[in-house]
Amino acid sequence: MTEIARGLEGIYVTETKLCRIDGQKGELVYSGYDIYELAEHSNFEEVCFLLWNGRLPTNEEYSHLVEQLRRERPISPLNNRLLHEMVGFVRPMRALEIAVTAIGALDRNSSDMSPDALQDQARRLTARMSTVIAAYHRIREGNEIVAPRDDLGHAANFLWMLRGSEPSELEARVMDVALILHAEHEMNASTFGAIVTASTQSDMYSAIATAIGTLKGPLHGGANDAVYKTLEAIGTEDKIPAYVDDLLARGERMMGIGHRIYKTTDPRAIILERLGEELAKVSPDAHYYHLSQMLRDYLAQKLEGKPLYPNVDFFSASVYKMLGIPNDLYTPIFAMSRIAGWTAHLMEQYANNRLVRPNALYEGAENRPYVPMSKRD
């Protein structure tokens, strides 16, 4: 009998040097480096270099990368016009998807799949996606676009462009770590979607547009927005039991709880909870963080004995809220982080390409005679 693997669960579609996950132990490793080490000591730019090159950069290489990203941050007049035209009609993730397509349309070397060209494209996408997200938000709020600053790192620059005020050292660090935690996660749905597109020898920009469209779904990148909406719906601690009991009675799942891979707490959730605790000491929106903790604890009681634990989305919702980020930008920020891993996987794919073309087991009718339309009842 032919075995069907719905959702491709347990199926290895390729080999990679980028990421290893042990869902039983709660381990996440980027190119040999434990996520706890990277979150403690590294920054997003350095992690990008690691994923794109398989090693950490030297001081000179790091400085060169930072300068290259700095040069690529400004968006084109075309994207500026597109963002203004889309406000009021298009949601942020769709706007980001369209903007990425426009970035590719203006790149005369978009079809160049040489290693150097792919690195250029990866840097361009990484730098500009953050500017696009911030600019779109500024425009829809009726504010002037805030230009990127050369003296700020990637994470701090994003908060500066988004809010129009320079973030504190703590805010910049929390944003930086959040980007690191979302940068890569092996063969997730959006990464696989990008690889399928790339396997046809389509360009990197088209593959990333595919990834963004895939990430948009609530079962993937949209979960953090759903967690925020849950916190908003609950409102106060005393309403947690009734909300959760009613949800479970209807047979619905709590977004941000459980993961296809992790059978214990997602290590990224552990790191974000710790960061959230620091932010909560100074944030006027600390209520959301504390409500998340209480919700997690009540769910643990109700789901005792089941392998359902918080994933990265569960605490990212309250952390982003404390950073002053609107909830409909949570998923675009996920994309702005994951661009590092997406592009790294695409480099691996282009270097050893094979068209992704699985099979489907046919279970339909056989030997049906064709009846002319004039004789059909």
Q: What string of DSSP letters covers 22-43?
A: ETTTTEEEETTEEHHHHHHH--
Q: What is the pLDDT of residues 152-199, one digit of tens each?
A: 999 999 999 999 999 999 999 999 999 999 999 999 999 999 999 999
Q: Is the pLDDT of residue 1 over 70?
A: no
Residues in the chain, how many? 377
Say how many CA atoms lie within 13 Å of 285 toward its Cβ. Answer: 16
Residues 183 and 47 sit within 8 Å (Cβ to Cβ): yes
Q: Roughly how many angstroms between the first and final C-alpha of the chain, as a whole number?
A: 38
Residue 257 DSSP symbol: B
Q: Is the pLDDT of residue 246 over 80?
A: yes
> What CA–CA distance (Å, rounded) separates 133 from 122?
17
Strand (E) positions, the chain? Answer: 19-22, 27-30, 33-34
> Would you tell me which CATH number, out of the four given (3.40.50.300, 1.25.40.10, 1.10.580.10, 1.10.1740.10), belongs to the domain 16-216+329-351?
1.10.580.10
> What CA–CA distance (Å, rounded) separates 297 from 294?
5
Residue 300 CA from chain centroid, whole number: 26
Of residues 260 and 208, more confidently modeled: 208
Question: For the sheet containing 27-30, what is the strand order?
Answer: 19-22, 27-30, 33-34
CATH architecture entry for 223-322: Orthogonal Bundle (1.10)
Q: What is the pLDDT of residues 255-298, one digit of tens each?
A: 888 777 777 888 999 999 999 999 999 999 999 999 999 999 99
Q: What is the pLDDT of residue 308?
A: 77
22-56 in b/e burial notation, b at 16+ Cβ within 10 A?
eeeebebbbbebebeebbeebbbbbbbbbbbeeeb
Any bridge partners for residue 21, and if so which?
Answer: 28
Q: Which residues are catalytic?
A: 220, 259, 313
Q: pLDDT averaged over the chain?
A: 94
Residues 275 and 318 sit within 8 Å (Cβ to Cβ): no
The owner of tokens 């203004």 is 84
Give percent of the chain with pLDDT exceeding 70.
99
3-class DSSP state for residue 82? Answer: helix
> What CA–CA distance (Å, rounded) separates 191 from 208?
9
Q: Give long-range contacts, CB 8 A cutoff, 24+ apart: 147-150.
A: 147/74, 148/70, 148/73, 148/74, 150/70
Q: What is the pLDDT of residue 252?
A: 85
Task: Enumerate the domain spans of the chain.
Answer: 16-216+329-351, 223-322
Q: Is the pLDDT of residue 32 over 80?
A: yes
Residue 20: enclosing H or E segment and its boundaries? strand 19-22
Q: What is the pLDDT of residue 222?
A: 82
Say if strands 19-22 and 33-34 run parallel, antiparallel, or are unpaired.
unpaired
Residue 177 DSSP symbol: H
Residues 244 and 337 sit within 8 Å (Cβ to Cβ): no
Q: What is the pLDDT of residues 306-350, one digit of tens each?
A: 767 888 888 999 999 999 999 999 999 999 999 999 999 999 999
